[in-house]
Structure 1
Amino acid sequence: MLAFHRVLSRRTALAAIAVAALTVHAGSAFALASSGPVAAASAVTVSSSAKVYNTFNTLLRKPGGLPQAITYLNAHIHQATNYQATAMVLQLENALKAELPRMEARFTPQVSEKLMKVYVYKEDFASTLSRTRDPQLRKLLQLAASSGYRQHSSEGIIYPVVDYTDLIKYKKYVTADLQAYIDIMAAQTLRPSTNDAALAIGYQELVNRGLALEQFMAKYPKSNRYVQVANLFRETKYMIFYSPSNTPLFDYDGEEVMRANARIGYSAVLKRNPATASPLLQLLATFMSIAEASDFKKSEAVETFLQEKVSLD
């Protein structure tokens, strides 16, 4: 799962946002949530499913096999059972994460400098590709796109990330918990919570993402992705009460007063949702009550609450 400090340096109802990292433990069967199967688009046989599963894994294990494996999965996932379709999507995400450091290494400072001349903020590789004639750059962008990545920028550097939006097309073939997980991660892909060590989304959306993660854990306690979602929830909760270093919740200027947007956003969330609906909301309501009693300054009472109730330890 992403480490919190890396998230900070780069990178409305409870179910309004859909959101943390897929891992299949090597050599062991993975546990699926008891959500029941999702109907396949067409009749599936045991033999057809086994063939698709085995072929996909053969392609995935080949060096540089991600593009082929993805192309194959796109064409044949409808021939797999719900269980094996879910397994393949989990394994694909694992492979994307495993290959990511090698793909990142291809995006050298020289490559990033070339990209910055044609890149438009938040666009995908295909859009950037249409504006460059550099043969080496085109080859790299085509490889990254076909391998399941998209580009992000931070602090003047362009780098690849796993494109979870590309997994959305698999949702109808997999279990409900994985559907929810894909939605959650796709939202983070399209709008990362942080950028350049600053909060990149609104305070209401930040809380809503935390609520979506909390809801996932409550609904799918046996999901294969429970641990990853729990880790992301812990990081998100920390951001709610502290915010990233470049946009601290209590502004460093003067008396360290809570940012007005945060105060307004958190109050709006609490007004729309009863605190009893969620442990996170209960914690936020208590925090806001203590902060209000301190004129929203980072008082000793506020610091004591944060030290006791909100920690990455």
Structure 2
Amino acid sequence: MRILVTGGAGFIGSHLCQFLLEKGHQIICLDNFFTGQKRNIDQLLTNKNFELLEHDITKSFDVKVDQIYNLACPASPVYYQKTPIKTVQTNVLGAINCLELSKKLGGVKVLQASTSEVYGDPQIHPQPENYNGNVNPTGPRACYDEGKRCAETLFFDYYREAKIPIKVVRIFNTYGPNMSWDDGRVVSNFITQALKGQDITIYGEGNQTRSFCYVSDMVLGLYKMMASDSWTGPVNLGNPGEFTVKELSDKIISKTKSQSKIVYRPLPADDPKQRRPDISLAKQNLNWQPTIPLDEGLDKTIEYFKKVI
């Protein structure tokens, strides 16, 4: 099968490309390297079944494929808040271009990598798919949160109007090798600071919670969703194990044997206080749930970061 992965040089996208190649598929990786990194796909470039298309997803494109995974978008606040208009364009125009390509190709399956950010700062815990969220549409995170929400709207409108076979997944916090050390996400921040012996920065009091899914578990969830028959989703993909940010920092300091001290800074605007997926639908419809515990995943991630920073 010939498969397009947009954002294929990014963190999750590069792992998905590798996984699909191992399944025997031909892969077209589309990326403009705004946040994706060539080192993430260096080992794939010599594979005869891998093709790199350097392109901006906000501009239309034309490739002949059997499936489309749309993962193209900056996913960390450091990046998406730097160019918020471009972030909205990537989410909205990128979705339209993927859906239009599917339509042109006669309706190939297209999967949208949405996000737990569609739930905003949730007032329901854990978050099920039928929760409509609590998002500030004018805040500094809105370019990403509302951009992803609009992309979901487009996917379901194309499904209803043009009968495009869509798949929508809501990705919760994911970590692992190929993360950028400077992307500002909590796992990469803490590991980088610990390995460099810098103060570890906690925003707020550290009692906000997150759920951390190792990247190989996430990729399998994406693959299973694409392989499902007529179910559109949306479906939550993430690890329901819940940890405070302070607990995460303590784990990383211990594992790296770091002398780093913890410093506290004000919580950014609209930062979610709790985040944990209800994955009942993924278990029921995809027979999927994460298998890599946080301690094991952190060990692998720390070893990766030791090589790149």
Pairwise TM-score range, normalised by the shorter structure: under 0.3
Question: Which structure: greater helix fraction?
Answer: 1
> Which protein is bigger by CA-based radius of gyration?
1
The structure that is strand-richer by fraction is 2
Q: TM-score, normalised by structure 1?
A: 0.25
Ranked by relative contact order (alpha carbons within 8 Å, sequence separation 6 or more), the top structure is 1
